[in-house]
Amino acid sequence: MHYDYVIVGAGLFGAVFAHEMRTRGKKILVVDRRSHIGGNCYTESIDGINVHKYGAHIFRTSRREIWEYMLRFADFNNFVNSPIANFHGKIYNMPFNMNTFNRIWGVVTPAEAQAKIDEQRREIVGEPRNLEEKAISLVGRDVYEILIKEYTEKQWGRPCRELPASIIRRLPVRLIYDNNYFNDPYQGIPKGGYTAIVEKMLDGCDVRLGVDYLADREKLSNLADRVLYTGAIDEYYGRDMGSLEYRSLRFEHKRMAIRNFQGVAVVNYTSFAEPYTRSIEHKHFEFGDQPTTVVSYEYPFEWSPGVEPYYPINDARNQALYEKYRQRAAAEPKTVFGGRLGTYRYTDMQDTVIAALELANKEVAK
Site size with ligand FAD, rule: CB under 6 A: 35
Which is nearer to ligand FAD, 136 or 227 (by Cβ)?
227
Query: Does 53 contact ligand FAD by CB under 6 A?
Result: no
Residues in the chain, how many?
Answer: 366
Query: Does 347 contact ligand FAD by CB under 6 A?
Result: yes
Q: Which of residues 5, 7, 11, 28 is near ligand FAD by CB under 6 A?
A: 11
Query: Does 34 contact ligand FAD by CB under 6 A?
Result: yes
Whether residue 250 lies in the annotated active site = no
Q: What one-character-per-residue DSSP string does 193-216 give? A: -HHHHHHHHTTTSEEEES--GGGG
Check 127, 169, 170, 240 and give the catalytic one. Answer: 170
Are β-strands 59-61 and 90-93 bridged in parallel, bridged antiparallel, or unpaired?
unpaired
Q: Confirm if 120 and 141 have CB atoms less than 8 A apart.
A: yes
Are β-strands 293-302 and 246-256 bridged in parallel, bridged antiparallel, or unpaired?
antiparallel
By C-alpha distance, which of 13, 60, 56, 121 is closest to 294? 56
Query: Does 208 contact ligand FAD by CB under 6 A?
Result: no
Query: Does 286 contact ligand FAD by CB under 6 A?
Result: no
Check 153, 286, 298, 363 and give the catalytic one. Answer: 298
Whether residue 170 lies in the annotated active site = yes
Closest CB 232 distance from ligand FAD, rounded Å? 6
Stretch that binds ligand FAD, among 66-74, 99-107, 288-296, 346-354 (CB under 6 A): 346-354
Q: Which of residues 4, 142, 178, 348 is near ligand FAD by CB under 6 A?
A: 348
Which residues make beta-bridge pairs with 301?
A: 248
Whether residue 4 lies in the annotated active site = no
**Taking the CB of residue 126, how many other CB atoms lie within 10 A of it?**
7
Query: Does 309 contact ligand FAD by CB under 6 A?
Result: no
User: CB under 8 Å to 182, separation ≥6 — which residues?
Assistant: 58, 60, 81
Closest CB 231 distance from ligand FAD, rounded Å? 3
Query: Does 231 contact ligand FAD by CB under 6 A?
Result: yes
> How far apart are alpha carbons 345 and 310 in whole angstroms?
10
**Which amino acid does the sequence have at 147?**
L
Q: Which of residues 53, 339, 354, 363 is near ligand FAD by CB under 6 A?
A: 339
Query: Does 207 contact ligand FAD by CB under 6 A?
Result: no
Whether residue 298 lies in the annotated active site = yes
Whether residue 226 lies in the annotated active site = no
> How far apart are alpha carbons 309 and 248 in whole angstroms?
5
> How far apart are alpha carbons 5 and 7 in whole angstroms?
6
> How far apart are alpha carbons 125 and 141 in whole angstroms?
14
- The helix (H) or strand (E) run that includes residue 138 is helix 131-139
Query: Does 310 contact ligand FAD by CB under 6 A?
Result: yes
> How far apart are alpha carbons 23 and 20 in whole angstroms?
5
Q: Which of residues 3, 5, 7, 9 is near ligand FAD by CB under 6 A?
A: 9
Q: Confirm if 294 and 336 have CB atoms less than 8 A apart.
A: no
Query: Does 352 contact ligand FAD by CB under 6 A?
Result: yes
Which is nearer to ligand FAD, 20 or 32 (by Cβ)?
32
Query: Does 312 contact ligand FAD by CB under 6 A?
Result: no
Go through 212-247 and write b for each residue having 16 or more CB atoms within 10 A of its CB, e for each that does not: ebeeebeebbebbebbbbbbbbbbbeeeeeeebbbb
Give catalytic residues, as residue numbers: 170, 174, 247, 278, 298, 346, 348
Interface positions with ligand FAD (CB under 6 A): 8-14, 31-34, 39-41, 54-59, 212-214, 230-231, 249, 310, 339-341, 347-350, 352
